[in-house]
Structure 1
Amino acid sequence: MHEADTRTHDGTHGDGAPGAPGTDPRRRVLVIGGGIAGLAAAHRLLAAGLRVTLLEAGQRLGGKLHAGELAGLPVDLGAESVLARRPEALDLARAVGLGPALQPPATTTAHLWTRGALRPMPTGHVMGVPGDTAPLAASGVLSAEGLARIAAEADLPPADIGEDAAVGEYVAARLGREVVDRLVEPLLGGVYAGDAYRISLRAAVPQLYEAARRHGSLGDAVRDLQRRAAAQPAQGPVFSGIEGGIGRLPAAVADACRAAGAEISTGAEVRELRRTAAGWRAVTAAGAVDADAVVLAVPAGPAARLLQDAAPAAAAELRAVEYASMALVTMAFRRSELPAAITAGTASGFLVPPVDGKTVKASTFSSSKWAWAGTDPDLFLLRTSVGRHGDEADLAREDSELVGVSLRDLGEAVGLTARPVASTVTRWGGGLPQYPVGHLDRVARIRAAVGALPGLAVCGALYDGVGIPACIASAGKAADAVAAALATPGSEH
């Protein structure tokens, strides 16, 4: 995932950054979009001493972070964890009082359901690209032919990767299609719900892209990254959650923003955004909102519509961004009716390579993965995901059908025969932006067009990475840009 530089003007990280020099507290910034990026931008702007109004078109804040309840138990109905080795999400959680609730997974042991069996996820890889074939051979994920094809890379001439390449195409050319189909696809799909043969290596796995450019050999590139990682000081858990669910984070940020004076409204769709002599004007059904600057924290479609007049070049680029849709099927079962493969607490779930032709793309044993979700002695929570870019036909099924096909696949994978005592389906239509080859160049063109209008900035999942820390970093970058513009006399108009 693309890593963004999130340092503020004085070199610090996080959300407690001091205000931009010369910031006038009477200046108002309008944040359009109440997902985690918009909320993080509002929080940062308030810390800079600015007045903030946030407008969210939907009836709920948080975007893809969604706290819910099933059978009386708290559940995440959207994203469930954050990358803990980036600071942005953990820093924001601590800043809004959720530090004591941060919690690593109780188990991170994942499996692949492939080639007719549940197999251990091999170690020694970078986003599925192996550096050590011994764990891969022991797992049974690849055939003997697939393993031999990896070894054959030693006989290939060095590759010139150029300015960018599709992850799947590049890896297949060096190590064979089996590596892509059985390892890279399910792992990348878990992040982007996308097609590895189209996803940009430079945007999605930048550290591997740079290492491949240095070495020419993909195996050598992975081993180089692993050596560098091993030489680093011991780090904490890779991922973190929040007791009660990551979905608690947006509400906590919103509460902190309101306490600092922000005006936050839901059900407030911005129909038009235009420049005025004094700054910007957003038009909603309830009337007009005037501001000195705007942070646009919405997906590509709404952003394109709002920027059509003010930044037509950016709008044209935004209209070309594609999104993947998916659905999460969350179920509660009686523990006593589940097989030990699920309840033993030794596995967090499994991924499913699309090449195996199953409906379910992944399953998370939530009550094993998260201690806070596993405290009920009688009930057990798990969920499945369905749908990916280019493979979304199953999303046309009714909710009951998605529950049914999830149970069917779970039965085949882990021997589940029980019926849930409760279930819910959460649909994320157009939930994840796709990062095809050339995506970073498109982002640069969007930002150049937007940057030509001081007092306007964009942020969100389509710019610097789809993960929660990356979205918060993107928000910090946007907030700092408009704060700097407002601190420079005459530059905001």
Structure 2
Amino acid sequence: MPHVVVVGAGMAGLATAWDLVAAGEPGLRVTVLEAAPDTGGKLRTGTVAGLAVDVGAESVLARRPEAVDLAREAGLGDALTHPGGRAATVWSRGAHHPLPPRTLMGVPSDPDTARGLLDDAEVERVRAERSRPLAPLEADDVAVGALVEDRLGAAVVDRLVEPLLAGVYAGHARRLSARATVPALWAAARAGEPLLDAAARAAAGATATAGGHPSPVFAGYRGGLGRMAADLTQALRERGVDVRTGTTVRGLRRTGTGWALTVGPTVAEEEADADAVVLAVPAAPAARLLHDVAPDAAAALGEIGTASMAVVTLAVPRRVLAPVLEGAGVAGSTGFLVPPTEPVRVKAATFTFAKWAWVDALDPELVVLRASVGRAGEEAALQRDDADLVATVVDDLSTILRGRVPAPVGAHVQRWGGGLPQYAVGHLDRVARVRDAVAAHPGLAVAGASYDGVGVPAVVATGRAAAARVLEHLRAHPPAGG
């Protein structure tokens, strides 16, 4: 019987496994090997004051369908939910400002919507883009911050683009690739068109997709996305997929008939045979496994940097926090973003209880909120123990909210060391080199956040593409006797 081994049980690996078994290939065996004790990767549930909530990713982009489609196909659609509350704010220069609507990663479609975050002169600088002569961008890639600053001014980068990109990549706008992170802006620049027009087209396209009515931008899962990963894992096992956690893959080599993987601790290694292999792991472990098999792919993967960050989740008394939020003018908001130019360590906060009704219902006396700390190259902010990090977050929240945030009844610190790949300028060329090198080896594929996007839908899409590649190979080259 044909056997496929998927290395990694994050959402890329789980999506790969789902598409493999959903294809209905006779006799196909699928094994998923995960080094961590749980599946889900950056989707993880933790306990804060006895309340189970997400301590990793908490939402998926609903207007990109891959993640919600996967949940529905697996019979999990009834648990999907959408956020409530008012839109997040941006805290800048001591005040909270509404996040402008209809932006494209911070680039406004209407300059006036950014007034307040931008002063009058800065708004006019943005508006002037449409009347300026714009030469087409000749470079194959450019940093998104450099592009936006040249067209719209540094203030748009610092107060809008930076906090939004940091929330997705934990990176810096002046280092991240425009082509990889905001391809619509890059395409407009290459065509010599205003970035404002690209933002307007994106906003119009979202409305058209929604049939003329605003549709939810994001989706969540009752019980948390960590629960969704666990439920998807259970659905896979019910379909016969062998999902093994706590199982490290240490080596990969080609055999005369397929592939062999070295599995387990160094003192008790075993070998697993496979007709096809999908590496759904981050760039560094993928590079190690490909070092001898596909050295060009390994070298390109080695060029992809990462950022470390932490999610600090707090449970605080509801009645004490409420007047603080009221006094700051953010009651009912889902949270706030913080530009990196501000003198605090927190780069974003989510009022989880206001964003998700299922979280708000967990405890009548407590509310849950969370903050993120750390960006690429700023690991010093994380070099403190959990208690110090919690105290730092409470102090920063108190500064931003202009009132003393109560001491938490419970706290959870989730550190994501090297957890977010950085799409530096030239990223897509590196990805092309990886895929070209891997394509030379039939029955081998890669998937994950290191390639086409760090959001859950993009990660799921890489898993589904890897499954399609493997199935095509198996159909063209069935195992002996298959």
Please give the range of the TM-score, normalised by the shorter of the 2 chains.
over 0.9
C-alpha distance after superposition, 1:144-195 (max 9, x if no partner) = 3322322343453213223222110000011111100000000011111111
Deviation at 1:213, TM superposition (A): 3.1
Query: Which stretch has the larger CA shift, 182-191 or 253-262?
Result: 253-262
C-alpha distance after superposition, 1:169-226 (max 9, x if no partner) = 0000111111000000000111111110111111111223223333432223323433
8 Å contact from structure 2 (residues 322, 331) kept in 1: no
Alignment partner for residue 82 of structure 1, among 60, 81, 85?
A: 60
Corresponding position of 1:313: 296
Alignment partner for residue 53 of structure 1, among 25, 28, 31?
A: 31
Corresponding position of 2:453: 465
8 Å contact from structure 2 (residues 324, 404) kept in 1: no
Corresponding position of 1:34: 9
- 1:280 maps onto 2:259 in alignment: yes
Give the 5 Å matches for 1:127-276: 127-137=105-115, 140-154=116-130, 156-162=132-138, 163-232=140-209, 233=211, 234=213, 236-276=215-255
- 1:436 maps onto 2:412 in alignment: no
Give the 5 Å matches for 1:232-381: 232=209, 233=211, 234=213, 236-285=215-264, 286-340=269-323, 342=325, 346-375=332-361, 376-381=363-368
- TM value normalised by structure 1: 0.91
Corresponding position of 1:22: none
C-alpha distance after superposition, 1:56-101 (max 9, x if no partner) = 1121211100012211212101000000111111111122232111
- Give the match's secondary structure for 1:389: coil
Query: Which stretch has the larger CA shift, 428-437 or 160-169?
Result: 160-169
8 Å contact from structure 2 (residues 447, 462) kept in 1: yes
What is the rounded CA distance, in whole Å, between the counterparts of 2:463 and 2:316 in structure 1? 39
8 Å contact from structure 1 (residues 214, 221) kept in 2: no
8 Å contact from structure 2 (residues 315, 408) kept in 1: yes
Distance 1:108 1:479, change over 3 A: farther
Deviation at 1:489, TM superposition (A): 2.9
Give the 5 Å matches for 1:345-424: 346-375=332-361, 376-414=363-401, 415-424=403-412
Deviation at 1:381, TM superposition (A): 0.1
The alignment's C-alpha RMSD in Å is 1.7
Deviation at 1:109, TM superposition (A): 1.1
Deviation at 1:337, TM superposition (A): 1.0
- Give the match's secondary structure for 2:13: helix
What is the rounded CA distance, in whole Å, between the counterparts of 1:210 and 1:412 in structure 2? 40
What is the rounded CA distance, in whole Å, between the counterparts of 2:454 and 2:86 in structure 1? 21
- Give the match's secondary structure for 1:463: coil
What is the rounded CA distance, in whole Å, between the counterparts of 2:447 and 2:86 in structure 1? 31
Identity %: 52
What is the rounded CA distance, in whole Å, between the counterparts of 1:47 and 1:217 in structure 2? 44
What is the rounded CA distance, in whole Å, between the counterparts of 2:208 and 2:250 in structure 1? 52
C-alpha distance after superposition, 1:468-489 (max 9, x if no partner) = 0111110000011011001003
Distance 1:228 1:53, change over 3 A: closer
TM superposition outliers: structure 1 runs of 4+ over 6 Å: none
What is the rounded CA distance, in whole Å, between the counterparts of 1:124 and 1:334 in structure 2? 35
What is the rounded CA distance, in whole Å, between the counterparts of 1:280 and 1:388 in structure 2? 38
8 Å contact from structure 1 (residues 359, 394) kept in 2: yes
Deviation at 1:401, TM superposition (A): 1.1
Amino acid aligned to 1:57? A
Corresponding position of 2:471: 483
Deviation at 1:321, TM superposition (A): 0.6
8 Å contact from structure 1 (residues 159, 217) kept in 2: no
Question: Number of residue pairs matched?
Answer: 465
Give the 5 Å matches for 1:62-77: 62-77=40-55
Corresponding position of 1:114: 92
What is the rounded CA distance, in whole Å, between the counterparts of 2:443 and 2:331 in structure 1? 51
What is the rounded CA distance, in whole Å, between the counterparts of 2:84 and 2:203 in structure 1? 24
Query: Which stretch has the larger CA shift, 150-159 or 479-488?
Result: 150-159
**Unmatched runs of 5 consecutive residues or more in structure 1:** 1-25
Amino acid aligned to 2:19? R
Distance 1:178 1:472, change over 3 A: same
Query: Which stretch has the larger CA shift, 472-481 or 213-222?
Result: 213-222
- Give the match's secondary structure for 2:469: helix
Distance 1:145 1:327, change over 3 A: same
Amino acid aligned to 1:427? R
Amino acid aligned to 1:148? E
